[in-house]
Amino acid sequence: MSITAGPLLSQIHYPADLRRLNRDQLIPLCDELRQFIIDHVSLYGGHFGASLGVVELTVALHYVFNTPYDLIVWDVGHQAYGHKILTGRRERFHTNRKYKGIAGFPSRFESEYDAFGVGHSSTSISAALGMAVAARLKGEKGRHVIAVIGDGAMTAGLAFEGLNNAGVSGTDLLIILNDNCMSIDPNVGALKEYLTDITMSHTWNRTRDELWRLLGKVGGEALQKQFSKFEAAIKGAISRSSNLFEALNLRYFGPLDGHNVDHLVSVLEDLKHIHGPKLLHVVTVKGKGFGPAEKNQTKWHAPGTFDKITGEIFKKPVNGPQPPRYQDVFGHTIVELAEKNEKIVGITPAMPSGSSLNIMMERMPHRAFDVGIAEQHAVTFSAGLATQGLIPYCNIYSTFLQRAYDQVIHDVALQRLHVVFCLDRGGLVGEDGATHQGAFDLAYMRIIPNMIVTAPMNEQELRNLMYTAQLDHIRQPFSIRYPRGEGVMPQWRTPFEEIPIGTARLLVEGEDLCIISIGHPGNFAAEAICRLNELELYPAHVDLRFLKPLDEDLLHRICRKFRYIVTVEDGVIMGGMGSAILEFAADHGYTITVRRLGIPDRFIEHGSPKELHRECGFDADAIAATVCELLRVHPKQKFQIKTF
């Protein structure tokens, strides 16, 4: 379905077109851009509220600055839909987050206007500072660098590291804090309270900024410097709200109404002529301009398709009982376990609804903690809890745990602390693309000493692994990874059973070849085996469950019996489960052929999980085709219904 841009927006193919508009045309342009985003996301899905909240800021930035020569770094990337539309991608925007279409986040491979690839939060200040220093070293005078940080990203340690360095750099850098009190869920922590205090008591800042501009017109930079000295002497007594950023030697401006595009343009024009590192505090409303999104910002972060008139979010029709999402199995199961074991606590870095830890937070608010976008802190906080005999379930998306890898090794595993890592979104997550694929955790967790590494094939195994992980005799780190999306068991609330550590399941005895799977892709293998049975091929099937420690007794039996093994995993094949099987065979002198299926040695872009499983070659068709190839069977000749 074709979506028509408004009369102003339809004239803008690149920011140079935008800069030809008159100032009085910017307000209607913002209205058209906001409506274009609403029209597209309602039909095609995607992130929603964050980009609506920065429409005016996006227009003002591209109107004032000479992009792409001037560099804008967006943090986090789902703020950047308006930016993409204004920078040559309007006519392709319907392909946003679709297979082979444009990415949902800024990408240096996609456009010269995307100065830095962003998906994980809190990188903008450090990256922009690097760009600004490079411009200074290269003598590129007049080149502006802007970091736009928002949606809770300022709470991460990396953002503070960047601020700390920027303040002493003496480099021309503009940091724009898009303050909407939200990430996906409401922001938490002392910084959020501090920023709220600034927005409630900003008389001094407004007066000071007006005086700064007046002095510049009257007496130029010399008079402004004298004012700065005077201001430094009195600001501690008068302006509590400037201390945090200015203590880091950043000139603070704001807070400003982030939806007043005309005022934003005026302020940004002034800031172009102020040297050194500076921070502009802009207050916005996530979901601005769409009533339901303003009222329920978490729900409308990425709502899927919806009726733009009524606000009804469309859901796929349901026929009969449906399997739950793995994250919801986690959320309900941790509450069940915590009711029986008072040592259990839950931790998440800013993803309570995404991980379903919000279920525990509602039932047991004193035992469930959202620590903000701070993965390193989440892990070491969990370690501290574990030293005192508690059992933390640290729930982090697989891709985000990478940001805390040192803490996993040094603060948890080295000290053999009983922390349970529940890695949501393990494997290919789909439309969020390369920055969010949980491709690496099986490989990076299995090499850590003292770490137990597991992945359930279904909801029942997830429950039982979570139950096993909290038993008293474990006393070491325990990792459970599971995918995004639905499982396979509508009747999933089964009684808890302990799973002996390091035991696999032989699901099918088999004759011709053995398929070893780990985690949810075991269901793909089961489907492939049904198809192969129609070809009179009867592979064995092992659900490995534990990548570390391995079930060596069962693996010895498999390696003695079968000449061919096919391994299937939703993770990188380099260093993953298939590598572990090859290592086992080599260490014990088995001369067998192992064919590894999984994520190849490249970053996988966006698309639906089914499309990506097919692309990477480990869906049911690919598994069956691999078995046929190894056994030298030609399925098209013997089996006409299915082709592989």
Is the pLDDT at 320 greater than 80? The verdict is: no
Q: What is the pLDDT of residue 517?
A: 98
* Mean pLDDT, rounded, for 379-408: 97
Residue 81 shares a structural domain with residue 198: yes
**CATH number for position 619:** 3.40.50.920
User: ∠ at Cα 245 (241, 251), nearest 5°?
Assistant: 100
Does 145 map to a domain? yes
Q: Mean pLDDT throughout 254-258?
A: 91
In the chain, the amino acid numbered 293 is A
Residue 493 in any domain: the answer is no
Residue pair 143/71 in contact by the 8 Å Cβ criterion:
yes
**Which residue from 332, 329, 367 is spatially nearest to 348, judged by alpha carbons?**
367
pLDDT at 223: 66
Q: What does the pLDDT average to over 245-271?
A: 93
Which of 268, 313, 261, 314 has its CA nearest to residue 292? 313
Q: Are residues 529 and 604 in the same domain?
A: yes
What is the average pLDDT across 518-536?
96
Beta bridge partners of 251: 278
Q: What is the pLDDT of residue 643?
A: 38
Burial label, 640 (beta-carbon count in 10 A; 0-12, 13-18, 19+): exposed
Q: In the predicted model, is pLDDT for residue 512 greater than 70?
A: yes
Which band of pLDDT confidence, cut at 50, 70 and 90, is reported for residue 239? very low
pLDDT of amino acid 504: 98
User: Looking at the domain assignment, is residue 492 inside a domain?
Assistant: no
How many helices (H) does the chain have, and how many strands (E)? 26, 17
**pLDDT for residue 182 is more than 70:** no
Tokens of 203: 């008389």
Average pLDDT over residues 102-109: 91
Q: How far is CA 560 from CA 461, 556, 585, 588, 591, in A?
A: 28, 6, 10, 11, 10
pLDDT band at 16 (very low <50, low <70, confident <90, very high): very high
Q: What is the pLDDT of residue 314?
A: 84
Average pLDDT, the chain: 89
312 pLDDT band, cuts 50/70/90, is confident
Q: Is 545 left (phi over 0), alpha (psi -120 to 50) or beta?
A: left
Residues 6+ apart with CB under 8 A from 410: none
CA distance 492 to 488: 9
477 and 511 fall within a common domain: no
Residue 232: pLDDT band with limits 50, 70, 90: very low
50 shares its domain with 146: yes
CATH at 165: 3.40.50.970
Average pLDDT for 283-304:
85
Q: Is residue 476 located within the same domain as residue 551?
A: no
pTM metric for this prediction: 0.87
Cα three-residue angle 11-12-17, rounded to 5 degrees:
105
Q: What's the whole-number mean pLDDT along residues 21-49?
A: 92
d(CA 174, CA 594): 54
Please report which confidence band the pLDDT of residue 185 belongs to, taking 50, 70 and 90 as the band edges.
low
Residue 306 lies in a domain: no
Q: CA-based angle 427:393:573, to the nearest 5? A: 20
What is the pLDDT at residue 298?
79
Position 264 in a domain: yes
> How many Å apart are CA 338 and CA 344, to the nearest integer?
5
Alpha-helical regions (H) of 552-605: 552-561, 577-587
DSSP single-letter state for residue 186: B
- pLDDT at residue 556 is higher than 80: yes
* Claim to verify: residue 521 and residue 429 sit in the same structural domain: no
| Final residue before a domain boundary, out of 241, 272, 295 | 295
Q: Provide the pLDDT confidence category of residue 321 given band limits of 50, 70 and 90.
A: confident
From 73-82, 539-548, 559-568, the region with the lowest mean pLDDT:
73-82
Q: How confident is the model at residue 516 (pLDDT cuts 50, 70, 90)?
A: very high
Give the pLDDT confidence of 457-488 residue by residue, as tens digits.
999 999 999 999 999 999 999 999 999 999 99
CA 532 to chain centroid, in Å, comes to 37
Same domain, 512 and 365: no
Range of lowest pLDDT (200-209, 365-374, 384-393, 510-519): 200-209
pLDDT at 319: 74
Q: Is 15 a member of any domain?
A: yes
Distance between the two ends of the chain, CA-based, in angstroms?
Answer: 33
Residue percentage of the chain with pLDDT more than 70: 88
- Asked if the structure places residue 117 within a domain, the reply is yes
Banded pLDDT at 424 (limits 50, 70, 90):
very high
As a whole number, mean pLDDT of residues 324-335 equals: 97
Return the pLDDT at 331: 97
My answer on whether 528 and 463 are in the same domain is no
Question: Is residue 312 one of the residues assigned to a domain?
Answer: no
Identity at 92, one-letter amino acid code = R
Give the confidence band of 632 by pLDDT, cuts at 50, 70, 90. confident
Q: What is the 3-state secondary structure (H, E, C) of 323-390?
A: CCEHHHHHHHHHHHHHHHCCCEEEEECCCHHHHCCHHHHHHCHHHEEECCCCHHHHHHHHHHHHHCCC
When pLDDT is averaged across residues 556-583 and rounded to a whole number, the result is: 97
Give the per-residue pLDDT at 212.
Answer: 58
Confidence of residue 297 (pLDDT cuts 50, 70, 90): confident
* 192 vs 198: CA distance, rounded Å: 10
In this structure, the answer to whether residues 523 and 476 fall within a common structural domain is: no
Of all residues in the chain, what percent carry a pLDDT higher than 90?
Answer: 72
| Residues with active-site annotation | 286, 375, 403
> Starting at the edge strand that comes first in sequence, how are the strands of the sheet with 564-572 ordered?
505-508, 540-543, 514-517, 564-572, 593-599
* Phi, psi for residue 610 in degrees, rounded to 5: -60, -40
Q: Are residues 45 and 179 in the same domain?
A: yes
What is the tally of structural domains in the chain?
A: 3
Q: What is the pLDDT of residue 609?
A: 94
Q: Is 448 left (phi over 0), alpha (psi -120 to 50) or beta?
A: beta
Average pLDDT over residues 292-321: 82
Structural domain boundaries, residue 552: 505-638
Residue 178: strand pairing partners: 150, 282
Q: Are residues 352 and 287 in the same domain?
A: no
Would you state the structure tokens that stand for residue 503, as one six-digit string?
A: 């035991």
What is the model's pLDDT at position 237?
A: 40
Residues 178 and 44 in one domain: yes
pLDDT at 641: 33
Nearest Cα neighbor of 145 from 207, 70, 68, 213 is 70
Q: What is the pLDDT of residue 218?
A: 64
Average pLDDT of span 281-291: 90
Cα dist. 268→65, 244, 278, 463 in Å?
A: 9, 22, 11, 53
